Chain A
Amino acid sequence: MAEQNTHLSSLLQKNEQSLLTQWIEAQQRVIGTKISPQELKIQCMDFLRLMVEATHQDKSTSIDGPAWVTAKKMLAEVSKSRTNQGFSPSQTALFVFSLKRPLFDLLRKELVDRPNEFADAIWAITQILDQLGLYTAEMHQRSREEVINRQQADMLELSTPVVKLWDGILALPMIGTLDSNRTQIVMESLLQKIMETESEIAIIDITGVPTVDTLVAQHLIKTVTAARLMGTECIISGIRPQIAATIVHLGVELGNIATKSTLADAFKLALSRTGRSVSKTTTHSPATGMRK
């Protein structure tokens, strides 16, 4: 096994130009000009050189050794940029697999009168390219997962914006469907923010939550209780009539938690609890300043 890619390195090096041309053509037949010809050419040239080096240093048919580290690193990068451009896993792995045909053609020409060597060489190159191709597909998958994880994290962040309404009064609008994991995380970050800002009153607005079941209710109650222990009173607002009716039938008691149907009502309550009030001024006729 260890001797099997003896010729590969020199073969690649000697035929670099013709290989490059055929390889690029093979890819463009499938992906068109989704990648600019210059970019593709640079990627292919770089990778061929790295393959020459790796196969020169490592004569085995495995890509697990240290000689392949740089080549694999480059594949990971190519894979990532393909993923971001919206390539499928097979389109991404094409980068490697499309090298098979040009290489096989080349081997056939070079080893035309040495059938045994030809067979060995084909086997060696197949093993190497298959491993590299799978590696590329795996990297594609990993990049996808990174994108998904990032989006999920973004969503969790987005779902708990904190709005300061007045000194000591925060509004925390909750938005979206809450599954068990998310409810937990959303509630924890609410508490975190209440703590950071040392607010007197926090208004948790659930206008954007489509379903309030016992799990969501339980988390709400726990959050309000925990906030209270930190010296912050909570008001829950945005309980629409259909949600109110459902909670009653469900039998969930929000106990002594203040609730209001709108954020505006909750804000009014918060102001009065902190010794303030909103009143209309009488000196000006309304709206004159608003018109053009």
Chain B
Amino acid sequence: MNHEELQIRTQSDIVLVRKAVRELTAKLGFGLTDQTKITTAASELARNTLEYGLGGHLEMETLKNDLGKSGIRLTFIDQGPGIADIALALTDGFTSGKGMGMGLSGSKRLMNEFTIDSEMGKGTRVSVTKWK
């Protein structure tokens, strides 16, 4: 349905991502708690795209399932180094940098659906969905 692309190249792009996601979730009628959860997950994944994926972009889609329920899907795509061990990356507290190591696993808990594809040397694609 609705589709929008946002660049993630700088710190301020992350702020813009959060703003765009918050506005879209509000427009879709998500409650305040869900708006906050989705925006926070977007913030985490956008930061990973910038810090580890060396920049990339976000695709924002609005969805409608068979039962007429609406949802939002956020897909973060980069052409960075990729993730060697996805299970390890998804472990609470694992970080290869200086973070808390909670971003990836936390985003998974904040959203309804979570898929991650990564290939070494090619890049990473993380897609998350939340239904109303």
Which residues of A come within 8 Å of B, CB atoms?
Answer: 177, 179-181, 210-215, 217-218, 241-243, 245-246, 249-252
Contacts and interface: CB of A to CB of B under 8 A. Distances in A.
Contact of B37 (A218, A245, A252): A245
Given A213-B47, A217-B100, 17 more contacts: A177-B18, A179-B11, A210-B22, A211-B39, A211-B40, A212-B40, A213-B43, A214-B44, A214-B100, A218-B100, A245-B33, A245-B36, A246-B37, A249-B37, A249-B110, A251-B109, A252-B102
Interface string B9-45: 0011011001100100000000011011101100110
A226 B32 CA distance: 33
The 7 residue pairs across chains A and B that have the minimum distance between CB atoms: A250-B106, A242-B36, A242-B33, A213-B43, A179-B11, A249-B109, A214-B100
B59 interface: no
Contact of B11 (A180, A210, A211, A243): A180
Interface residues of B, number: 26
B92 interface: yes
B68 interface: no
Contacts of A246: 33, 36-37, 40, 110
Contact of A211 (B12, B36, B92): B36
Contacts of B123: none
A179 B12 contact: yes
A211 B43 contact: yes
Interface of B: 11-12, 14-15, 18-19, 22, 32-33, 35-37, 39-40, 43-44, 47, 92, 99-100, 102-103, 105-106, 109-110
B90 to A, nearest CB: 12
A180 B18 CA distance: 13
Contacts of A218: 99-100
24 contacts: A177-B15, A179-B14, A181-B11, A211-B39, A212-B40, A213-B40, A213-B43, A214-B99, A214-B100, A214-B103, A215-B43, A242-B33, A242-B36, A242-B37, A243-B36, A245-B37, A246-B33, A246-B36, A246-B37, A249-B106, A249-B109, A250-B106, A250-B110, A252-B106
Nearest to A217: B100
Contacts of B22: 210
A250 B40 CA distance: 9
A180 B46 CA distance: 12
Contacts of A241: 33
A181 B109 CA distance: 27
Given A179-B12, A181-B11, A242 B35 contact: yes
Highest count of chain A CB atoms <10 Å: which of B12, B33, B36, B47: B36
A226 B35 CA distance: 32
A211 to B, nearest CB: 6
Contacts of A210: 18, 22, 39
Nearest to B92: A251
Nearest to B103: A214
A180 B47 CA distance: 9
Contact of B106 (A179, A180, A242, A251): A251
A177 to B, nearest CB: 5
Highest count of chain A CB atoms <10 Å: which of B11, B40, B92: B40
A250 B102 contact: yes
Contacts of A251: 92, 102, 105-106, 109
